[in-house]
Structure formats: C-alpha cells, structure tokens
Amino acid sequence: MQNCCEAARKRAGLAKIPRLGWHSLRRKFASELKHTPLRDVCALGGWKTAETVLTCYQRPDEVTMREALAGRRALAER
C-alpha cells in the first residue's frame, strides 16, 4: 500500500511532509464531515463499514463538543 501511495503522491506533484500521510488526510476528511450522515461519509471516503470510520478516523474535538452542549435545551424546557 505504501508504494502505491508514494507513487500517487509523486504523480500528483505533492511534497512529502512528515506525519502527513494518507491516513491523516482521511482522518481529517472524516472528521470534517461529522455532521454528514455516516452512510454518506462511508461512501465518499470509500470505507466499507461505519465501524472503521468511527473507530479509526473520526475523532472527537473540543469545538464540536462545545457546539453540541451549547445547542442542548435547558432541563426546565424539556
């Protein structure tokens, strides 16, 4: 897999940046699409299972968690 990725990187004319490989780019892609239905994220990223996206690629982040908490209704409103 690594040779294939390296060849693709070279064909695309992209510089090699340490610690910025295909996996990290896929993780960024999946995390940016957190608000997209998971089935669509899987199809767009080529993942066969949602479990892979959830366990390996999408990461919790402070901004998303704060937005989720801010959007909650107060307990008295329920």
Tens of pLDDT, residue by residue over 3-18, are: 667 787 788 887 888 8
Distance CA 54, CA 34 (A): 10
CA distance 68 to 57: 20
pLDDT digits (tens, 9 = 90+) for 30-77: 999 998 999 999 999 999 999 999 999 998 889 889 988 998 876 666
Identify the pLDDT of residue 66: 93
CB 57 within 8 A of CB 27: yes
DSSP letter string, 9-32: HHHTTPPP-TT-SHHHHHHHHHHH
Which pLDDT value is given to residue 76?
Answer: 65
Q: Is the pTM of this model over 0.85?
A: no
What pLDDT was estimated at residue 54?
93
Q: Where are the domains of the chain?
A: 23-77
Distance CA 28, CA 60 (A): 11
- Give the pLDDT score at 77: 63
